[in-house]
Amino acid sequence: MAKANGNKPRVLSGIQPSGNLTIGNYLGALKQWVAVQREYDCFYCVVDLHAITVAQAPAELRRKTRESAAIYIAAGIDPEISTIFVQSHIPAHSELAWILTCMAPLGWLQRMTQFKDKTAKQMQDSIGAGLLNYPSLMAADILLYQAELVPVGDDQNQHLEFTRDLAQRFNHLYGETFTMPSVMNPQAGARIMGLDRPTAKMSKSEESDNHAIFLLDDVGRARKKIGRAVTDSFREIRFSEDKERAGINNLLTIYQAITDEPRASIEAHFSDKGYGDLKREVADCVADTLAPLQARYQELMEEAGYLDSVLKIGREKAGEIAEATLKKAQENIGFLAPS
C-alpha cells in the first residue's frame, strides 16, 4: 500500500508518558507536530523506554502510554496521515540504543544539562544508568527513521546536537548509515514556564497544584490556575527576558503560542489593559484550546478498539523502517548476519 507521505522528508518526535501532558507539551511540541504533518512524513512516538529512566508504577505507565497516544490524536495528529506508535513496541529502539551507547563518550553524556539537572540532588547510587544513557536512546529513536527534522522544545537542542555528533561518528567509522537530523523549534512556545514559578520550565511531574495546566484539566480549573499565576508589580504588559517579569512574559508567551499573533500586535492589544484583563484573555484562549481537545479525547477513549488499532498500524509501519535501518547498522558495524 502506497503511503500518502511516501516521498516527503521524514519527521520524528516523541514525548514521555511519564505524567499528564501539559499545555507546555502542546504549545512546545504537539501543536507543531500537527502543523507539519501534511508537509512531511511524520512519525510520532510515545517514548515509554525513556519514561522508565526514573521509576514508574506499572499500571500507571500503561495507562499513561495509551492516554498520551489518545492526546496526540485529540490534539490533531491524524493517524491517516502520520504514524503514531509506542517506542517499546519496536525492539530496534533498544537494540540501536545499545550500539550507540557503546559509541557515546562518557564525558559527553555527563555534560548533558538534562542529566545534570535530573541527578543534581541525588546520591550516585540512586541514579539509574538509564538517565545517563538517555541521549543515546533518543539518538536511536531519531536515527532509526532517518529523520531529517525533529520538532521539539528548545530544551532538547543539546540532545539533538548529541544525536548529530553520534551519527557523524558512526558514519565516519562504519560508512554512511544515518541521515543527519536537524532540530525544528517552534517560533513561540518553545518553552512555557510554570505558572507558580515562571523561571522554571512547566513540568508534567511537578507536585504543586498551581504549576502546570494539564491538557485534561477541567476548563474551570485551568482558568483558576491562570488566575493564580505569579505576576509582578510593574503593571506593564510586554515581552521581556527580565527575570522579575518572567510571570507576565510567560502569560504573553502562552497567548502568542496559541494565537500565532506577532509580539508587537499583542503588546499593542494589551497596552491599555491590566493584568486582570491579560489573565482573562489568556484563560479564554487556553479554554478554547482545551475544550475541543478534551471532547475528542473523550470520544477516543470511548471508541473501543480504535486507539489500539491505530497503535498496531503504527507499530507495523514504524517497525518496518526501523528494522531496515537497524539491519544496515548491524551489518556496517560487523555483526555476523544470522543465516
Give me the residues that bind ligand TRP (CB under 6 A), please: 12-16, 47, 50, 138, 141-142, 150, 152, 156, 159
Residue bearing cell 499593542: 268
CB of 69 to ligand TRP, least distance (A): 15
How many other C-beta atoms lie within 10 A of the C-beta of residue 302?
8
CB of 25 to ligand TRP, least distance (A): 8
* Amino acid symbol at 138: M
CB of 158 to ligand TRP, least distance (A): 10
CB of residue 236 to ligand TRP, shortest distance in Å = 33
* CB of 109 closer than 8 Å to CB of 133: yes
Report in angstroms how near the CB of residue 47 gets to ligand TRP at its nearest. 4
CA 55 to chain centre: 19
Nearer to ligand TRP, 18 or 250 (CB): 18
Say which of 64, 204, 225, 279 is annotated catalytic: 204
Containing 36, the helix (H) or strand (E) segment is helix 31-36
- The nearer residue to ligand TRP, 36 or 287, going by C-beta atoms, is 36
Q: Which is nearer to ligand TRP, 10 or 279 (by Cβ)?
A: 10
Q: State how far the Cα of 294 lies from the Cα of 273, in Å rounded to an integer.
A: 31
Residue by residue, DSSP assigns 281-315 as HHHHHHHHHHHHHHHHHHHHHHSTTHHHHHHHHHH
Active site (annotated) includes residue 204: yes
Cβ at position 45, least distance to ligand TRP in Å = 7
Nearer to ligand TRP, 112 or 248 (CB): 112
Residue 138 CA, distance from chain mean position: 11
**Annotation marks residue 118 as catalytic:** yes
Annotated catalytic residue, options 118, 224, 317, 328: 118
Catalytic site includes residue 201: yes
Which residue, 30 or 226, is less far from ligand TRP as judged by CB? 30
Beta strands in the chain (DSSP E): 10-15, 41-46, 83-86, 149-151, 182-184
Residue 49: its H or E element: helix 48-51
Q: Which is nearer to ligand TRP, 29 or 300 (CB)?
A: 29
Q: Ramachandran region of residue 76, left (φ > 0), alpha (ψ -120 to 50) or beta?
A: left
Q: How far is CA 203 from CA 188, 194, 200, 208, 265, in A?
A: 18, 7, 8, 10, 29
From 31, 64, 201, 225, the catalytic residue: 201
Active site residues: 118, 201, 204
